[in-house]
């Protein structure tokens, strides 16, 4: 039977001002934080004009690098996932994502399946914030509908090939890795400052 596990969120501080709290593995929360750190590093890079084509090219390249580095995430019951999580939370990864970029570096359109979903965010007068994300994983999920009219997801397809030595292979009690993520951004200096509840099907798109 399905069991709910309560886990502490992961977090980081951006620019000594904003605290970002995100969902941990098997979501892409660690990749979200790595992406936020990379975008912030780019913002502070000399000679880079914001909201220009060169700026967006660097962001695209950083996202491409984040995928190519293959920091494998999966269910945190595997201790290897915790090691990867700590690497992605480090500032060194953001520096690696943004370092030594040049115009000849190639990047291309991803051939991966496009994941989709809906983010619902709520706040109340008592300073409580909730961000939730729900999804069938991809468009129309498994494309199977029950007699009650419920469309089933295809999240099992997120598991890796069993022949691979991966932290994301199917095992009893293990949840598959997902690109979905939820997060809350808080002003770390001003109690009345900015509050943002966000979420989405892809961590780097959420970071942007």
Question: CA-CA distance, 28 to 46, in Å (whole number)?
Answer: 29
Answer whether 201's CB lies under 8 Å from 179's CB.
yes
Question: CA-CA distance, 48 to 55, in Å (whole number)?
Answer: 7
Q: Is 137 marked as binding a ligand?
A: yes
Q: Is 1 marked as binding a ligand?
A: no
Q: Is 157 marked as binding a ligand?
A: no
Q: Is 12 marked as binding a ligand?
A: no
Q: Is 37 marked as binding a ligand?
A: no
Block residue for tokens 């915790």: 82
Q: Which residues are annotated as a binding site for L-glutamate?
A: 135-137, 178-179
Q: Which residues are annotated as a binding site?
A: 135-137, 178-179
């Amino acid at each position: 039977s399905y069991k709910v596990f309560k886990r502490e969120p992961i977090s980081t501080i951006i620019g000594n001002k904003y605290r970002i709290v995100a969902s941990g593995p098997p979501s892409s929360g660690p990749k979200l934080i790595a992406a936020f750190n990379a975008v912030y590093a780019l913002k502070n890079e000399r000679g880079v004009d914001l909201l220009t084509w060169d700026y967006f090219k660097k962001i695209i390249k950083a996202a491409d690098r984040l995928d190519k580095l293959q920091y494998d995430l999966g269910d945190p019951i595997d201790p290897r996932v915790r090691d990867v999580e700590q690497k992605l939370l480090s500032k060194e990864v953001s520096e690696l994502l943004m370092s030594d970029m040049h115009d000849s570096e190639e990047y291309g359109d991803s051939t991966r399946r496009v994941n989709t979903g809906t983010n619902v965010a709520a706040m109340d007068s008592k300073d409580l914030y909730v961000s939730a994300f729900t999804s069938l994983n991809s468009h129309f999920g498994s494309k199977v509908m029950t007699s009650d009219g419920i469309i089933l997801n295809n999240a099992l397809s997120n598991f890796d090939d069993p022949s691979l030595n991966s932290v994301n292979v199917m095992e009893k009690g293990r949840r598959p890795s997902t690109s979905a993520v939820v997060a809350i951004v808080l002003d770390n200096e001003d109690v009345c400052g900015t509050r943002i509840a966000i979420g989405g099907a892809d961590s780097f798109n959420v970071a942007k």
